[in-house]
Amino acid sequence: MVSVCAVIAAYNEAATVADVVRGTRPHVSSVVVVDDGSTDATGERAQAAGAIVLRHPHNRGKGVAVRTGIAHALQTSCSHVLLLDADLQHDPDEVPKLIERAKNGVGDFVIGERELKKGAMPAARFYSNLIGSRILSSFIGAPVEDSQSGFRLIRAALLRQVDLTATGYEVETEMLIKLVRAGAVLERVTVQRLRYEGVASKIRPFRDTFRTCMLALKYRFLTN
């Protein structure tokens, strides 16, 4: 049986976090929002929408927020941890796609992959993700088209086997490399409905892609 705890890392996402929580709740056992030092009403709106809210007193970075949420989830009896963003880049209505694949597939590590098409996302994000995904595919020995997608469903038992240390957006890369190295079978589902128009990304595509690639070398060859 698949029992899911959803983890949402959020920083100043008061405008959208409640919609993400409300959309996710029907599909999972519990929703945990990590308010990463927001200066707006992110935490309050997430809690009002029905989430368990964990608060960092100041902004510590997405990687730390994700790790805080995972640590909480692993204290529960859930079989899987779902990760998704708080800004509606991931449509909560598509959560069942990942859960269905976990039920009917191996169920170790399911990534919700965006269609990487020119014009479907900002150009800088398209090229940085394309480059990063090709590099990561070569490292893990398995094809992945959207290595930086934060929309993921992971078996809790496997998460307990890896030591995550990333503090920023490179957490997705670290997780991918270390979980596959720990024996996780990677599965992919295509997610269609994404939100880019009018959304100010916190990612700096080229700088963050370079940093991610350098850290990928570290995670692949220099860490356990």
In sequence order, what DSSP letters do the residues of 104-133 get, joined into one string?
HS--SEEEEEE---BTTB-HHHHHHHHHHH
Higher pLDDT, 51 or 196: 51
pLDDT of residue 139 exceeding 90 = no
Is residue 185 pLDDT above 60, yes or no?
Answer: yes
Asked if residue 172 lies in contact with residue 147, where contact means CB atoms within 8 angstroms, the answer is yes
Kindly tell me if the per-residue pLDDT of 81 is higher than 80. Answer: yes
- Of the candidates 55, 102, 108, 111, the residue with the CA atom closest to the CA atom of residue 83: 111
Q: Give the model's pLDDT for residue 91.
A: 94
Q: What is the pLDDT of residue 211?
A: 61
Mean pLDDT value of segment 164-179 = 90
Q: Which residue has the higher pLDDT, 133 or 2?
A: 2
Say what the pLDDT of residue 128 is.
60
How far apart, in whole angstroms, are the C-alpha atoms of residue 96 and residue 53?
23
Going by pLDDT thresholds of 50, 70 and 90, the confidence category of residue 19 is: very high
Answer with the residue of higher pLDDT: 24 or 194.
24
The CA distance from 191 to 106, in Å, is: 19
pLDDT digits (tens, 9 = 90+) for 109-124: 999 987 765 555 555 5
In CATH terms, the superfamily for domain 4-221 is Spore Coat Polysaccharide Biosynthesis Protein SpsA; Chain A (3.90.550.10)
When the pLDDT of each residue in the chain is averaged and rounded to a whole number, the result is 85
Indicate the burial class of 48 (C-beta count within 10 angstroms; 0-12, 13-18, 19 or more): middle
Percent of the chain at pLDDT > 90 equals 63
Which tops the pLDDT comparison, 121 or 69?
A: 69
User: 0.85 exceeded by the pTM?
Assistant: no
Give me the count of residues in the chain: 224
The band of 32, judged by pLDDT with boundaries at 50, 70 and 90, is very high
pLDDT at 93: 95
